[in-house]
Structure 1
Amino acid sequence: MDKISKPSILPNPVILQSEELLKYILETSVYSREPETLKELRDATASHPMGFMGAAPDAGQLIAMLLKLLNAKKTIEVGVFTGYSLLLTALTIPHDGKIIAIDPDIKSYEIGLPFIKKAGVEHKIDFIESPALPVLAKILEDPTNEGTFDFAFIDADKNNYWNYHERLIKLVKIGGIIAYDNTLWGGMVALPEKLVPEPKREWRLSTLQFNKAISKDSRVEIAFVSIGDGVIFCRRVC
């Protein structure tokens, strides 16, 4: 008797990486639950020359859930751009919650500001126009700030990710989460260097070095999620 062939249970990598699958996920469970002001900000960001830098809405959905699970009330954001993740956080945390948002580019932030005001959450945000390292150093000058933040989101210059990490690990409480965006760097972390466009090699290398370092950091538990452009979630354990 001929054996009945069974369908393979292994996933098809072509399907898993397809734009069609991402479209299915977004249209099925993300866009239908996205607050209107977030959608409006996402649409406004799409016309920006650097619009691809905006946080991925499916990653945002996961971040919102984590904020709720943490009962987060005090957060910090390094790298704001037009403010999609910032507005998402402000909509999620309580009315008396606070976010320190740091970015040297206030013009991009001002694109999102009307939507933040429309959502009625501007009072939760302390936007600081500055490179992040001096601000983080200033915050750490007061030892009472250590271990007081519930959540941090970093979407900034990749060559400083480890410098940010060394400071944020002191500011985020034990049990809190630090999320690092763009840790797949457009998938280029998995490519041989010779296949990577030369202008992108330096930050690719910085991303590779950070990913390797964070995977060995015993102070955190990590989850490397291939959502958006890759997000590493770090839960501080000591």
Structure 2
Amino acid sequence: MTRKSLPLTDELHAYLVAHGSAPDEVVRDLMAETVAALPAQAGMQVAPEQAGFLTFLTRLLGVRRAVEVGTFTGLSALAIARGMPADGRLTCFDVSEEYTGIARRYWDRAGVADRIELRIGPAGDTLRGLPRERHLDLAFIDADKTGYPVYWDELVPRMRPGGVIAVDNTLRGGRVIAPENADDRAIAAFNDAVLADVRVEPVMLPIADGLTLARVR
């Protein structure tokens, strides 16, 4: 027995993925193309166990309306869309036509492109185009770290009661304890702000680089 999460060796991580939601051919090909085409940026892609968890969470919540901030090559969006019913709608916000061009091909291949709307532009601006009422079931934030507070403030008022905001990279490789750069400091401050936000009930999970889930009251 242990009172804290186990550290994952490469072998244990492979075992974990194989015994959870193991990537299918579409996901394996998307991950491989991301590494081949964008080796310097490939670390921005969510981990395979995160993708499986996002699909599971989407189904568990019965998500019909979702938002993603930061799409990259589309794995997290693919995971969320797969967990939605055929008439579900996911709106993705990103600034890169290059990265999301890869995403679009794999959404088509997976048969979920009709559930996804992609909006290109700074999310701090484009999020404001969403309806103001509380209509979102799920939001996933995984973009520029200094922008997290802006995205949070735009999304919380738009979440339905009981909706969930998932936020990636909230452990920053462990550096939130002793921040080393502007992104680390931004996430450390963001984590404190989420903890103090009376509008939500947060929990932080040690999945990949840290995943915070916040249930909106």
- TM-score (norm: length of structure 1): 0.85
Q: 2:65 aligns with which of 68, 74, 83?
A: 74
Q: 1:133 aligns with which of 111, 114, 124?
A: 124
Counterpart of 2:135 in structure 1 is 148
**Is residue 103 of structure 2 the alignment partner of residue 106 of structure 1?**
no
Contact 1:75–1:149 (CA under 8 A) maintained in structure 2: yes
Q: 1:87 aligns with which of 78, 90, 95?
A: 78
**Is residue 149 of structure 2 the alignment partner of residue 162 of structure 1?**
yes
**Is residue 214 of structure 2 the alignment partner of residue 225 of structure 1?**
no
Unpaired runs of 5+ residues, structure 1, are: 1-8
State the shift of 1:113 in Å: 1.7
State the shift of 1:186 in Å: 1.9
- Larger CA Rg, structure 1 vs 2: 1
**Deviation string for 1:140-191 (max 9, x for gaps)?**
xx44xx211110001001111111111100111110000000111122213x
Indicate the RMSD between aligned Cα atoms, in angstroms.
1.7
Tell me, what secondary structure is at the counterpart of 1:162? helix
State the shift of 1:27 in Å: 2.8
- TM-score (norm: length of structure 2): 0.92
- 1:66 and 1:182 mapped to 2: Cα distance? 18
Counterpart of 1:6 in structure 2 is none
- 2:4 and 2:89 mapped to 1: Cα distance? 43
Counterpart of 1:36 in structure 2 is 25
What fraction of aligned residue pairs are identical, expressed as a percent? 32
State the shift of 1:17 in Å: 4.3
**Is residue 21 of structure 2 the alignment partner of residue 60 of structure 1?**
no
Unpaired runs of 5+ residues, structure 2, are: none
Contact 1:106–1:129 (CA under 8 A) maintained in structure 2: yes
**Is residue 197 of structure 2 the alignment partner of residue 206 of structure 1?**
no
Tell me, what secondary structure is at the counterpart of 1:165? helix
State the shift of 1:69 in Å: 1.3
- 2:159 and 2:26 mapped to 1: Cα distance? 28
- 1:78 and 1:12 mapped to 2: Cα distance? 30
- 1:84 and 1:172 mapped to 2: Cα distance? 23
